[in-house]
Amino acid sequence: MNNACTRFSDNYELKEELGKGAFSIVKRCVQKATGLEFAAKIINTKKLSARDFQKLEREGRICRKLQHPNIVRLHDSIQEESFHYLVFDLVTGGELFEDIVAREFYSEADASHCIQQILESVNHCHVNGVVHRDLKPENLLLASKLKGAAVKLADFGLAIEVQGEQQAWFGFAGTPGYLSPEVLKKEPYGKPVDIWACGVILYILLVGYPPFWDEDQHRLYAQIKAGAYDYPSPEWDTVTPEAKNLINQMLTVNPAKRITSTEALKHPWICQRERVASVVHRQETVDCLKKFNARRKLKGAILTTMLATRNFSSKSIIKKESGSQVKESSDSNTTLEDDDSKEEKAKGVDRSSTVIAKDPDEQVNVTENIATVTPALAAKGSGLFANALSMMMPPAKQTPPATPVHNAATSVANLMPPPSPSKGGVNTSESNRAGEWQTE
């Protein structure tokens, strides 16, 4: 798969552009020998630092070991003098959350099927010693536009390799609304961070808004660290106790007590979906999810436009004093990565939007996804930001309670056995990592 001598043009023919980032471009390509279509991520290696090369190598190494129907697969990796080509599955179904709002019927059972596929992909990662670290709606895609198309997990740019069940990483990386308490507390972490993010995603799948949200970054993080979420009426009244029980086990603050991907796949709400999950259409969930999708898309586009029209650079933004720019970084859909003791910066990280931060208290925005900005939006410039603030505010019912309610007792509290004290895991990492601060 890793072809250092083969030229990309010998085997593939490039077609139209699919997307673009700061240091890469994604194009559809056709394999000459078979006529099969793929997506080629083309990285301009001249613009990458030595640190960026290490990250690129890690992403390729991780993607090569993951082969699962619910993961976007890496088929080829070709290094040339100035460019590196990563050839992935061509997924044409768009984002899962966008597909859900276009459906004529959506029920709790459908949400169960969605999270099952996500958990299958996460379980495959964990069995192979990989932690994704950036599970969020933008990285959940559909293989095609056909009904019943498989959900595929994408973007392993922040993924790490771990030894078994160790909690040994300290790097601050992920997306604010999906970060786990242990990451925010700067405690060592591992596979459980992905399960926490799955719990947030499941909550959204059921009601259309997130369990943790606040316009202020510090209050948002306080909610997450305390596990302060609730099941407000009336939308949660029609959700089965079994679904809430699974969320409670995923959103357990203590990672040692958090359910694993293997255990979650055995939960009655997942494996006995036909008997347990409700099949009633959830129109209010679809309506809320439409607003949720619009807010996250619009905010990403606005931040991109602000950077494009003001000609910001990542360095100039990093030097800004605290203020409105910092407050904006509370966006729960903005990926962030820390600047650790070895000056680990997010240069060349190619995803929708990135925050460079030393810790949860020092964040600034750097948006890179210029492909998301339409000409009409770009023409409006940064003035669009003020006009869109109301759209980005969630409904009042999303405000979490002041006291933590994670793992609240339910009628099915004893459905699942407690997590086993010793969980197996395949050790496939290539080095003995003591933690991101030391090895990254």
Catalytic residues: 134
**HSE (CB half, 13 Å, CA atoms) of 252?**
18
Q: Extract the runs of DSSP E, i.e. beta strands, from 95-226.
A: 130-131, 140-142, 151-153, 160-161, 173-174
Residue whose pair of structure tokens reads 């010998």 in the numeric block: 10
DSSP string, 331-369: -TT-EEEE--TT----TT--SSEEEEEEETTEEEEEE--
Contact status, residue 406 vs residue 252, Cβ threshold 8 Å: yes
Integer Cα distance of 211 and 252 in angstroms: 13
In sequence order, the 6+-apart residues with CB closer than 8 A to the CB of 337 are: 158, 171, 172, 173, 344, 346, 349, 354, 355, 356, 357
Give CA 169 to chain center in angstroms: 18
In sequence order, the 6+-apart residues with CB closer than 8 A to the CB of 53 are: 45
Host H or E run for residue 92: none
266 is in an annotated binding site: no
**Beta strand 83-89 with 74-79: parallel, antiparallel or unpaired?**
antiparallel
Integer Cα distance of 42 and 30 in angstroms: 14
Q: What angle (nearest 5°) sits at the alpha carbon of residue 350, between those of residues 197 and 380?
A: 95
Partners of 307 in the beta sheet?
none
Closest to 333 (Cα-Cα) out of 138, 68, 66, 55:
138
Instruction: Determine the angle formed by the axes of helices 241-250 and 108-127, rounding to 10 degrees.
Output: 30
Contact status, residue 409 vs residue 232, Cβ threshold 8 Å: no
Residue whose pair of structure tokens reads 């009244």 in the numeric block: 237
**Beta strand 2-3 with 74-79: parallel, antiparallel or unpaired?**
parallel
Q: Which amino acid is at 306?
A: M
Query: Dihedrals φ, ψ of 135, to 5°?
Result: -70, 125
Q: Where is the binding site for ATP, in residues?
A: 41
Q: Where is the binding site, in residues?
A: 41
